[in-house]
Chains A and B, each alone.
Chain A
Amino acid sequence: MFDWLDHLIALLVFDTFGLSSESRWGHALHFFFYDSIKILLLLFLITFLMGIVNSYFPIDRIRAFLSRNKLYGAEYLLASTFGAITPFCSCSSVPLFIGFVKGGIPLGVTFAFLITSPLVNEVAIALFIGMFGLKTTLIYATSGIVLGTLGGYVLGRSKLEPLLSDWTQGVMQQAQAEEAFSEGQRTFSQRLPEIAREAYGIVKSVLLYVLIGIGIGAAMHGFIPTGFFEEYISKENPFAVPIAVILGVPMYSNAAGVLPIIQVMVQKGVPLGTAIAFMMAVVGLSLPEGTLLKKVMSWKLIAIFFGTVTFLIILSGYFFNLIL
């Protein structure tokens, strides 16, 4: 997909700058330019496409649909899938949570949405395509959706309603299927400039992290020998996955910067499954999100929520290492 860019950068680094393609600096610089440009192109493209989807995505109707229909368990899968499609803004997760509860949607289904929404988001998808290719991205997105479905189901079965904050419980008792406000129809050409502006805003906000991440990745790429990490993090080490996941949970803002480094670590011998599990922990769970949730639930429920998701991510890490 990006062969042309590869050649173009090779032309620049090896011919124009006169660096040898065998030298460490040549390797590192080629990696840096190639990856930065590729990731930026992908980031803009994916955020733009997701922006279009989101602009037309009838979240209100979906809420009404989920609250009106009993779907014999499929509602967990549906909620999780919707969570993947809607772009994540941490500030929307609480209004969505309350909105769902208010609409009479069961807590577990709401959790399914809440788990997948940050896990499968446009920035992570764009970076995954750029770094690991389409196949790995699909595995990541699919397992994110499965994880949300399972997590929502488990949490929904656990009778956690008493652990919600008093205010949320009050909202829950008055729950009714209601129609939320919806805006008048706007044309595609009215929406387009906004979507482009928003895509640009998202790319701009993660740009620095991506460049720093790729910079560190490039240095590692040129200067760390292949197979270096195999000694420390191998598939055989049973503790590698849980340690990687637990390290990943507190990281959030650096998600965009962490992936380029992970990519190089995979090239140098870290098992891909362990790396994906680590990424899920970085992207899917964040402490700032946890604090936001304090408004709607008790610390105990936040801990149960985080614990369940962490556990499922660790399980999927082992699973990836088995199949990949």
Chain B
Amino acid sequence: MKTIKVLGTGCAKCKSTIAAAEAAVKQSGVEATVIKVEDIQEIMKYNILTTPALVLDEVVMIKGRVPSVDEIAAMLR
């Protein structure tokens, strides 16, 4: 069971990242939960400067851009 966290304070780009992550989970068939992290104090623990960021099992994989569905799916596999 993998955990994807999407860090972002709720702007449009963060929403598209969440949508992409959810689509990637479905597409890859890997069991994973997508969690939305909107609390800025929580977000800053990951030491990033730009949002949205994508964290897979507590490792920051992407920051400051919206990844494509395929890209996230590839990470999951």
Contact = CB atoms under 8 A, between A and B. Distances in A.
User: Of residues B8, B10, B47, B49, which shows the largest number of chain A Cβ atoms within 10 Å of its Cβ?
Assistant: B49
Interface in A107-123: none
Interface in A91-126: 91-92, 94-96, 98-99, 102
Contact of B48 (A55, A181, A198, A292): A181
B44 A95 contact: yes
Contact of B9 (A91, A171, A178, A183): A91
A154 interface: no
Given A98-B44, A171-B44, A92 B50 contact: yes
A91 B68 contact: no
Interface residues of A, number: 29
Interface residues of B, number: 28
B50 A98 contact: no
B44 A91 contact: no
Interface in A274-324: 292, 295-296
Contact of A95 (B50, B61, B67): B50
Contacts of A171: 44
Contacts, number: 73
B47 A178 contact: yes
A60 B49 contact: yes
Contacts of B41: 167, 295
A295 to B, nearest CB: 5
B18 interface: no
Interface string A192-203: 011001100100
A105 to B, nearest CB: 11
B68 to A, nearest CB: 7
Nearest to B7: A95
A91 B49 contact: no
Q: Which 5 A-B pairs have the closest CB atoms?
A: A91-B11, A99-B49, A91-B9, A181-B60, A295-B40
